[in-house]
């Protein structure tokens, strides 16, 4: 298992019967043999090398066979059960206990239920690992462990292949070919199609339109007879086209006798960047995915044109469902009402033209709200971020200095300048300071990122809204108006209570793409 770094842990040191015999033998020969000192020194070297924070050192002077005979292990287990530490550092696993099955059960439950790891100079024992039960001698699970070991070997082989940048899927992704070393390279006959798909999706095309265009050109799809919208969506979200190989993105889970694919959290993926030649740039990949997430094509009857520029945008504030357009022959303007029958009598509708005007007015107010502070406080905004960056650099430098001081503590302990108690006390002070600095760094980083986002909004998003407003008034095409609004608005909510009688008495809340 990969070595771990920067954990909060306790040291546990205990003499075995063999160690006591060795000490007596050395004493008889006029030599010095201190087991606890030797083990402490070796464990401190591990802690220093792996930058662990030592919270307590438990030195068991007595050599009892059972846990009930050893007070230090009892104290350690109480800390483990309370999840006060990430791991226990010990010279060998059997130092924790070689008692009967009752002792083994106590150790097993304490570490397994709290998720606390056991670290030795050569091994790491993780309660969440499949080998944990075998380590603690559960003989009935040997067969199951063997199956897990075989699976793990296969998985490790696959992971090693991914780390080497090899493609281990049943067939290469569309747009690529695979050589004898399992390396991907662009297929001259299909790679241009992949790039074209990304370019179309980053523009004004939706996944359905892209599929239709490819079918018109009689281009063969990766599977099946025709291109499907789902195929387009899967392709533009596949990082393989950036030159990366990803393993562990999905996991097969058995439910009700059937295996289903379940997406795993991103932090558990194994990602090998620059594994092969990319087909698209990172900018194009992000642009296509951003456009895909922001785009939603409202349902319309085939052959019938869109009549509502707010389709897919305007939602009911009460129930969250879409506000529908209801044309009225006896009125000059269409009516917008909630499509949920449960809102009848609670949520009133309003004229489409009044709501549309309010949405456009709200967009204009967003532009004004960003432009005015920018003009009035431009100098202050420009000077704030550099100061925070300098403060960030200063705190990062201080952390480096404190880590150096922590390493010096180990040297002073080894030379006998510090006692164990003084070492623990001073290390705790330094560790707490590092945690405090990390919190400050996190806060500063968030503030810098927020200011960068505000600046980006002022420089990119606000001009985009202005362009949308200008273009909106220059076209009579409802679908184009709908597309323009969706390029800057995620959604808008509508609220008009039943007792609000005035025609323009309602509340519109916009959620822009900021």
Name the more confident of 285 and 416: 285
Task: State how far the Cα of 146 lies from the Cα of 425, in Å rounded to an integer.
Answer: 45
Mean pLDDT of the chain: 82
**3 state SS for 243-271:** CCEEECCEEEEEECCEEEEEECCHHHCEE
Say if residues 54 and 7 touch (Cβ distance below 8 Å). Answer: no
Q: Which domains does the chain have, with CATH numbers?
A: 8-137 (3.40.50.1390), 176-294 (3.90.1750.20), 306-514 (no CATH)
In tens, the pLDDT along 125-155 reads: 888 887 777 665 543 343 344 445 545 666 7
Residue count (the chain): 514
Q: Average the pLDDT over 7-36 and give the result.
A: 76
- For residue 116, the model assigns a pLDDT of 92
Residue 255 has pLDDT above 80, yes or no: no
For the entire predicted model, the pTM comes to: 0.41
Lookup result for tokens 């990366």? 244
Residue 192 has pLDDT above 90, yes or no: yes
- For residue 380, the model assigns a pLDDT of 47
In tens, the pLDDT along 308-326 reads: 899 888 999 999 888 888 8
Task: State how far the Cα of 246 lies from the Cα of 229, in Å rounded to an integer.
Answer: 23
Write down the H helix ranges in 16-141.
17-28, 35-49, 71-81, 101-114, 132-135
3-state helix, strand, coil in the chain (%, to 5): 50, 15, 35
Q: Average the pLDDT over 65-94 and give the result.
A: 87
In tens, the pLDDT along 59-78 reads: 887 766 678 878 898 999 99
- For residue 35, the model assigns a pLDDT of 79
């Amino acid at each position: 298992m990969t070595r771990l770094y920067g954990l909060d842990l306790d040291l546990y040191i205990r003499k075995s019967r063999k160690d006591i015999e060795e000490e007596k033998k050395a004493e008889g020969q006029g030599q010095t043999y201190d087991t606890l000192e030797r083990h402490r020194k070796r464990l401190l070297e591990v802690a220093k090398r792996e930058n662990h924070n030592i919270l307590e050192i438990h030195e068991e002077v007595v050599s009892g066979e059972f846990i009930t005979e050893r007070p230090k292990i009892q104290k350690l287990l109480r800390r483990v059960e309370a999840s006060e530490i990430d791991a226990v550092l010990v010279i060998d696993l059997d130092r924790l206990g070689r008692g009967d099955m009752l002792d083994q059960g106590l150790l097993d439950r304490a570490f397994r239920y709290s998720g606390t790891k056991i670290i030795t100079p050569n091994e790491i024992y993780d309660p969440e690992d499949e080998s944990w039960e075998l380590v603690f001698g559960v003989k009935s699970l040997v067969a199951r462990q063997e199956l897990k070991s075989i699976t793990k070997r296969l998985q490790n082989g696959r992971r090693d292949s991914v780390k080497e940048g090899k493609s281990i899927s049943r067939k290469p992704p569309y747009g690529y070919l695979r050589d004898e070393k399992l390396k991907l390279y662009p297929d001259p006959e299909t790679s241009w199609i992949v790039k074209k798909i990304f370019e179309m999706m980053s523009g004004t095309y939706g996944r359905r339109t892209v599929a239709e265009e490819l079918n018109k050109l009689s281009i063969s799809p990766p599977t099946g007879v025709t291109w499907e919208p789902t195929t387009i969506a899967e392709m533009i979200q596949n990082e393989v086209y950036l030159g990366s190989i990803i393993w562990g993105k999905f996991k097969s889970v058995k439910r009700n006798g059937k295996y289903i694919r379940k997406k795993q959290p991103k932090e558990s993926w194994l990602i090998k960047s620059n594994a092969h030649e990319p087909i698209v740039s990172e900018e194009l990949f992000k642009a296509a995915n951003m456009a895909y997430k922001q785009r939603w094509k409202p349902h319309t009857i085939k052959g019938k044109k869109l009549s509502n520029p707010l389709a897919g945008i305007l939602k009911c504030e009460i129930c969250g469902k879409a506000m529908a357009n209801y044309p009225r022959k006896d009125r000059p303007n269409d009516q917008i009402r909630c499509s949920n029958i449960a809102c009848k009598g609670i949520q009133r509708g309003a004229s489409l033209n009044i709501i549309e005007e309010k949405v456009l007015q709200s967009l204009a107010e967003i532009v004004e709200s960003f432009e005015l502070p920018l003009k009035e406080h431009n100098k202050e905004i420009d000077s704030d971020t550099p100061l925070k960056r300098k403060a960030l650099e200063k705190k990062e430098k201080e952390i480096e200095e404190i880590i150096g001081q922590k390493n010096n503590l180990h040297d002073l302990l080894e030379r006998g300048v510090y006692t164990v108690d003084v070492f623990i006390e001073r290390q705790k002070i330094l560790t707490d300071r590092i945690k405090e600095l990390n919190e400050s760094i996190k806060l500063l980083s968030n503030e810098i990122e927020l200011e960068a986002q505000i600046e980006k909004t002022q420089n990119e998003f606000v001009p985009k809204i202005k362009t949308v407003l200008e273009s909106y008034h220059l076209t009579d095409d409802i679908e184009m108006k709908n597309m323009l609004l969706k390029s800057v608005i995620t959604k808008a909510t509508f609220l008009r209570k039943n007792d609000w009688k005035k025609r323009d008495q309602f509340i519109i809340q916009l959620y822009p793409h900021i």
